[in-house]
Amino acid sequence: MYDRLKGFRDFYPEEMSARREVIDTVETAAARYGFREIGTPYLERTQMYVDKSGEEIVDELYAFEDKGGREIALTPELTPTVARMVVAKQQALSKPIKWVSTRPFWRYEQVQQGRFREFYQTNADIFGSSEPEADAEILAFAADALTDLGLTADDFEFRVSHRDILGGLLRSFDADVHVADAIRAVDKSEKVEREEYLGLLSDAGLSYAQADEFADLIERGDLDEIADFGGESVASAVKNLRSVLAAADDFGAGDYCEISLTTARGLDYYTGVVFECFDSTGDVSRATFGGGRYDDLIESFGGQPTPAVGVGIGNATLQLLCQRAGVWPDEELTTDYYVLTVGDTRDVASRIARDLRAAGNIVEADVSDRSFGAQMSYADSVNASTVVIVGERDLENGEVTIKDMETGDQTTAAVDEFPGDRGEPTYEDFE
């Protein structure tokens, strides 16, 4: 007997049915906005992540040397891969480029609620537009995906911030501040005590008094005050943030957005608007998902300057939110028809099963030479809505029996007329 690896999960059919429904809902929302599905490799060169994040990232990867002596890693995120893909065909791709995919990723990190070492995520990205409408469309798609799942404005909120506001404010202090470290401190601000938070800002180069002033400033979130304090660059970022929120309002996502400058997103490649989705009730403490603008990444991969913005929707944390709100799909099997055979009736039963499947139904039939009772038990176990009994005696009378599994009622139908031109024939059609 082998144990499953820590941080990896098995999904049995009932669970997978619910997951598939959620993934399909999210992907359908993306398709309505014109996002086109791509496929990406599960392995990339380790150096790609080292160049982006530094040597220390290797400790978080499933990285190894392959048989050809290449240092490779299981992909921990999608953004570097899609950046590489854009660079490879940049001149041939029509702009804006709008891509979506759902797939697994791997990180060797501490397992906790909503976080696993193998995790599944839907990513949607727009390349080639720096306009506020691109950021707003990402927010609108994400909002539509959630509301399509049955969530409402009472269930979730998008906390929207701007990295250039944070960076500009930090640079406005008379201090030798390491902006990236300070922004990572902001990203941790809601997870640590204030004294520790101020200590992290001080470690990044602010004095304690400056750290306290900076923390108070972004917690108040008064954009006019912030624009006045930070000068021209911060005022420009404030204007951009307001433009994105105005566009999000026009696109139908404004009701889900609130300004939260303590939202920072820890990755260094973010350059403009960033956001995270949270459970409005606070029952799910972690961010459900997040995203933002990363205008410099394509160029850093050797491509032409190309603005970009995207979102990554994690399946595990989305499941926590949906379960809390009571909209996670039922984890159960669904079967439209079970075609039950009694005696030597395989040829007729197979024809009926084929006709029902051709109409788009989910149909099962006996493949184990089981008894009548065993077949009925199996039909019940797979939640068959209707059982079509094809028995030798019924066929002698030119009939089959139709049984409604919810009520237990049954009737007969002429075998030559079943299913006929009915796409989804039921007991009621023949009673």
- Point out the annotated binding site for L-histidine: 77-79, 107, 121, 125, 265, 269-270
Q: Pinpoint the alpha helices (H) of 66-131.
A: 79-88
Give the length of the chain. Answer: 431
* Residue type for position 375: Q
* Residue type for position 49: Y
Phi, psi of 350 (to 5 degrees): -65, -35
For residue 159, what are its two tokens? 């906390």
By C-alpha distance, which of 159, 146, 82 is closest to 314? 146
**Rounded to whole angstroms, how far apart are CA atoms 108 and 119?**
11
Helix axes 223-230, 232-250, angle to 10 degrees: 150
Order across the sheet with 63-65: list the strands: 43-45, 71-74, 63-65
Binding residues: 77-79, 107, 121, 125, 265, 269-270
Q: How far is CA 143 from CA 69, 155, 309, in A?
A: 45, 11, 16
For residue 327, what are its two tokens? 């909209």
8 Å CB contact between 66 and 46: no
For residue 258, what are its two tokens? 């609130």
